[in-house]
Every structure is written in C-alpha cells, then in structure tokens.
Structure 1
Amino acid sequence: MTQSKWLSAPRSVLLAMTVALTGLLSGADTAGAAELAKNLFGAEALPSAVAPQSYGFYSKGCFAGGVGLPLDGPTWQVMRPSRNRNWGHPAMIALLEKLSRDAVQDGWRGLLVGDISQPRGGPMRTGHASHQLGLDADIWFSPMPDQPYSMSGREKIGAVSMLKPKSLVVDDRRWTESRARLLKRAASYPEVERIFVHPGIKKKLCDTVSGDRGWLNKIRPFWGHDEHFHVRIGCQPGSPNCKPQHDTGRGDGCGKELAWWFTEEPWRPAKNPDAPKARDIMTMAALPKQCQAVLTQPSPLSFEAALYKGGRAPVAVATAPAPEAVVPEPASPPAPVLAGTTGLPAFSAFAETPQIGVPVPRPRPGP
C-alpha cells in the first residue's frame, strides 16, 4: 500500500492492519521467550564486549562483559577446555589467578581449574544448575602436575575423589593438609562468600582444624564436590540486578546443620526421579529480561581478545613441600551410605531438618 493510499484508508482497515502487525511482533517475541535458554546460551562461543554485569540469581541468570581465564598459566591449567566454560566476571577470573599464585606458598605447583561459566552465562546444556552469573568456579583437589597436561590429556584425565569408596568418610591416603590450607586460603578472600565441598570433607575440617575456625563458616556442605571444591563470590559492584544469596550466619557450621548430612534424609531416593531438571525446561521467559539483550550484544574480535589480561605478577618458586601424591581412583566410584555404618555418629533421620537455606547448585549425578 502506497503512503497516499495508507493515509486515505478507512479507519477500520488501519486498525485491522495495526492489530495484525502487533500480533506478528508479539508472536515473534513469544516464540523467542519460549526457546530453551540452555540451547541459546550454550551456542554462544564468545562473551559480550560490554561493561561487566550479572543479571539474576546464581541458578537463573546470565552475565555480560565476561572475560576468559587463559587455558594455560604459570600456576594453573583449565581442564575440559572443549566445554568452553572458562569464562566469568572479571572479578572471578582475577580471583582465580590470585588464588593460583598465592597457593604456591602452600606448596601447590598450580591449580587445575574446572568449569567457571559459559561465555555469557545462562543455563548449561549439561552439568551444573548454577554457574550462570560468572561468579562460580570449580577447582580440582588434584594439583597441577610438574609436567603440565596436554590439551587432549585435559579431556581424559579424571578427577580423584577424596572419599573412601562407598562412604561419607574422607580417605586419609588422599586428603592432606595442603588441601585444607588451600581451602583456608580461598576462604580468606573477602570476595568469596561460599565454598561448597562434600559433607565428608566439611566434617574432616571440623574434626581437625584448630586455632582460628572462623573461615569454616564459608565451607558449606553439599552433594557431590568430593573431587573438587566450588568457589562462589558475591554480586559485584555495577550489577544492581544481581540477586545475592542469603547470609551464612555465624559459627563454624560444624553443629546441627552438618549433622543433618549424616542422617538418612539427604540420601533418600528422589520422589520423582524422572522429573526434568530445571535447565531442561527453563525458557528465556524464565530468565531476567536483560538476558535476551545479552545474547544480541557484540562479541570481541577473537577468543584471544576476550581473555583476561590483568593482574599477573611474577610467581616465586615454591619452597613448601608439594601436595602429596594422590592415590589412584578406585575402579568403582564411591556412593554415599547411611550414617552408622562407617564409624560416624548416627544421627536420627527423623530429627528436625536444620533451617540452613539449602544452597545451589541442586543435587546432580555428574560433575
């Protein structure tokens, strides 16, 4: 329709055409909102080249302006590089580099860094429920070897559990003071709000740490996390739409809230094991509205251009003994058993569940 005909058309015709056009645009928005978020964010290869900002919650959000942890550093290696999950908020990446350097003082040759986030965060196609804001990172309990792993090796080498087979008890052949020192150092950083570990590892720390125990408050027991620990930092300045997690309260966390993990209740089979995971049904409509814009923001020119390039200091040669060698993983993976069968106190499964505000990520079978 020409401009003159459009202007002279009857009002009813104009109204009908306007309604039709609005419907088309609305339909497009609805279709986009109905798409699975994990597929859209999982397809992004690079972060967005804008100011860093996190949107939403750790298990339901995204982030802009991320940077990548280089796959190789003087005191770290990124594991499973094919997953493309070495991205995070600049504050998270800076902290990981700092921790890897500082850990040299504790006898660590270097750290093996697992998943951080996807380039623009969001739900993942596999694995984690959280790690969506660029503020979470996994670090293996196994140290970086003197001879760094090859790229292919990093895809194949398995992480080693710190537990005895089929129990909730730490295996003293694998667990060492160097690992406790690393957790203490990570907890000492003010940016760090939580460090998730297996309940058995938390209990080991509760039983063995003397002197200053305040840092144990940040060590939070959670399912899994027997092969790695999960560092979480808080919402960063400049992210007003980032939803913080509740406070961890006071104390060392070694009382009733830990005792609950050694009852039957946490290990009962799921009532509906076939229920879909949140990531498998989460659409864009469920995420903060800003996440749709994050997907359309421009990318850096290249992978290299998106890597973090700040804050690297010379690394001193380790003078402390290196972390003790890790005993190879048993043939069958460990599975939790009920309290009372491994020498631990058997707490009542019917006692009131401590109100600890169960953190994310939710239970998951994989890493």
Structure 2
Amino acid sequence: MIHRRCRRFRLFGLLLVGLAAFAVQTPAAGEGFAASALTSRVRETPFPGSGHSIGSPANGCLSGAEALPLSGRGWETLRPERNRFWGHPSMISFLMEKAGETPSPWRLLVGDIAQPRGGHMASGHGSHQTGIDVDILFRLSDRPLTEEERTTPALDGVLAEDGTFLPGRWGPAQTAILHAFASDPRVERIFVNPAIKQALCDGAGDDRAWLRVLRPWWGHDDHFHVRLHCQPGDAECVPGAPLPPGDGCGGELQSWIISGDWKSRPKPHDPLKVQRPEPPAACRTILGSAD
C-alpha cells in the first residue's frame, strides 16, 4: 500500500513538472501557445526608451509609448480602465493636432489605440499592436464627458440594416472629419464600413483622391480605424501593402456590397483553435520585461 501511494505521488509530481515545463516555453519553441503566453503578460506600464513600432499591426509591440490624456482641445478618451490609450509618440501628437482642428464645438471620441507595450489584446482587436492604429467614433460630443459617459460610451452605429444612414447619426461633420484624416499624408489607410465608403463615393464629386485611403472592412459602422505609416527610423516596423491605384470605388468595393459582407465579419468555426503567430524577436524583451 505504501509503495503504491509513493508511486502515485511520483507520477503526480512528474505530471506537474511536465506541465510547468510546457507553460514556460519561449516563442523560439515555435508553438502558438508560447506566443499566447508571452503576449498575455503585457505590462501595465510602457517599455522605457524612445518610441518604436516593431512588427506589424496584427503581430508586434511598442516601446517608448506615450499616453493620450483623458481630455483635451477637441477630444475625449473613452474607456480608460481598459488601459488602451497608449500610442507611438507620433500617433499621440497626430491625434492631438487633428483633434485641435475639429470644428467647434465638436470633440472626437477616441477609442482604443494600443496597450502600454502594444502586443495582442485579450479582446476586441487583432491589430492595434504597434501604437499606430486608433479607433475614433463617428458619434461626436459637443461637451466634456461625464465619468459614466467616458467609461460606458454609447457605441451607436450609423447604418440601418439596408445600408442606409440612420437619421441623426451621419452628416457633413462626419464626412468632413473623414476627409481631413484621409487627406493627411501621415495616414496609411482608414478602415470604414463598405456601405459608408459607397455613400462617400457616390457623393464625392470631382474631389476623389482622398477616397483611395478609405478601405472597406467588416463592421466599422460606429467608428473609423486610422492607421499611420511606419515612422521614420522604425526599421522593424512592417508597413501595410501598397494601396491599389484609383479611388477604390470600383470592383473591390462592389464585391463587398453585393455579397453582403459589409454587415458582419464571419466568425471562425472554433475560436479556440486560432493560433497566434510568434511575435518578432525584439518583442520578447518588451512584452516580457519586468522593467
């Protein structure tokens, strides 16, 4: 009886050792679990040093992040408890500048930028990992937000089921703000709902160059998603594919509209089997550092 009990304890101990060894694998081992374990330890404070975006928006990290203040001239930061108001210093200065140009009395409602060190977010995004992405609501505010409005904002979509605009949720102010962002040479692309882009294409007239920057994507009927170019000197930042020529109002956009894909993004059959790629080597220190 004693020998059997000792053998059970030895087997249990070996099992614990094996589980511990599996849990501390590094991304170099090439397993999806390792990358997930590493990025889940993203710190609550930025990595020290100068601002650098590393990797791609969907697989990267950020050093030297700066925080967007909760409120300022022309903007309000939403849901600060999520700790996603950090960005590359160039993104923070860009946002403050563009918000300052917003016609009074309107204030931009700024959603997620990135976590303090970038990296994968536990919910809500596959991108926003390098500090050069930001979500901005189509809904505008004409005054500072209350604490309740800031922490639990109304995320009102602007589209009806048939793709038309809902009354009171879209107007010249939204078009002007998109035009201002899309015309800025610092912007690489802006993701909007395909039905929104279609409406803008239909009403643009001769001024069409800015439409090229607007890229159709699932959802995005309550906010637009701005992505900046990789910043000068960020050699490890991976840029997006070059935009196709033209205003983007042709066949690609029509394929979204005809298929109905603008309504919602298809979900994977088994989300638990979705493997995250290994982060870039430089991100292992940034995302796992105790500094």
Give the TM-score range, shorter chain.
Answer: 0.7 to 0.9
1:102 Cα offset (Å): 0.9
* 1:304 corresponding residue in structure 2: none
Larger Cα-atom Rg: 1
Q: 2:279 matched to 1:282?
A: no
* 2:89 corresponding residue in structure 1: 90
Q: 2:109 matched to 1:115?
A: no
Aligned Cα RMSD in Å? 2.3
- Structure-1 separation of matches of 2:111 and 2:118: 15
The 5 A counterparts of 1:39-78 are 39-41=40-42, 44-78=43-77
Aligned residues: 263
- Structure-2 separation of matches of 1:296 and 1:225: 32
* 2:15 corresponding residue in structure 1: none
2:157 to 161, 169, 177: 161
Residue by residue, what CA displacement relative to the aligned partner does 1:162-191 show, whole Å, maximum 9, x if unpaired? 101x23222353210111000000012111
1:156/1:289 CA distance change after superposition, 3 Å? same
Structure 2: where are the runs of 5+ without partners? 1-20, 28-33
- Structure-2 separation of matches of 1:277 and 1:143: 38
Structure 1: where are the runs of 5+ without partners? 1-26, 300-367
* 1:189 corresponding residue in structure 2: 184
CA contact (8 A) 1:81 1:151 kept: no
Residue by residue, what CA displacement relative to the aligned partner does 1:36-55 show, whole Å, maximum 9, x if unpaired? 244112xx111112111111
- Structure-2 separation of matches of 1:121 and 1:271: 24
Identity of aligned residues (%): 39
* 1:350 corresponding residue in structure 2: none
* 2:16 corresponding residue in structure 1: none
Q: 2:285 matched to 1:293?
A: yes
TM-score by length of 2: 0.84
Higher mean displacement: 224-233 or 173-182: 173-182
- Structure-1 separation of matches of 2:90 and 2:273: 29
* 1:100 corresponding residue in structure 2: 99
* 3-state SS of paired residue (1:56): strand
Q: 2:245 matched to 1:253?
A: no
Q: 2:148 matched to 1:152?
A: yes
Q: Residue type matched to 1:80 in 2?
A: R
Residue by residue, what CA displacement relative to the aligned partner does 1:7-37 show, whole Å, maximum 9, x if unpaired? xxxxxxxxxxxxxxxxxxxx69962432524
The 5 A counterparts of 1:28-39 are 31-33=25-27, 34=34, 35-39=36-40
CA contact (8 A) 2:189 2:226 kept: yes
1:108/1:212 CA distance change after superposition, 3 Å? farther
Q: 2:173 matched to 1:178?
A: yes
Q: Residue type matched to 1:31 in 2?
A: Q
- Structure-1 separation of matches of 2:265 and 2:174: 31
Q: Residue type matched to 2:47 in 1?
A: S
Residue by residue, what CA displacement relative to the aligned partner does 1:178-221 show, whole Å, maximum 9, x if unpaired? 11000000012111011111111101101111231100000111
* 3-state SS of paired residue (2:272): coil
Higher mean displacement: 254-263 or 29-38: 29-38
* 3-state SS of paired residue (1:129): coil
1:160 Cα offset (Å): 1.3
Residue by residue, what CA displacement relative to the aligned partner does 1:60-87 show, whole Å, maximum 9, x if unpaired? 1111111000111122110111100000
1:102/1:272 CA distance change after superposition, 3 Å? closer
| Higher RCO (CA 8 Å, separation ≥ 6 residues) | 1
The 5 A counterparts of 1:296-335 are none
TM-score by length of 1: 0.67
- Structure-2 separation of matches of 1:198 and 1:268: 10
- Structure-1 separation of matches of 2:76 and 2:257: 34
1:261/1:118 CA distance change after superposition, 3 Å? same
2:134 to 115, 133, 137: 137
Q: Residue type matched to 2:150 in 1?
A: R
1:239 Cα offset (Å): 1.0
* 1:273 corresponding residue in structure 2: 269
1:256/1:172 CA distance change after superposition, 3 Å? farther
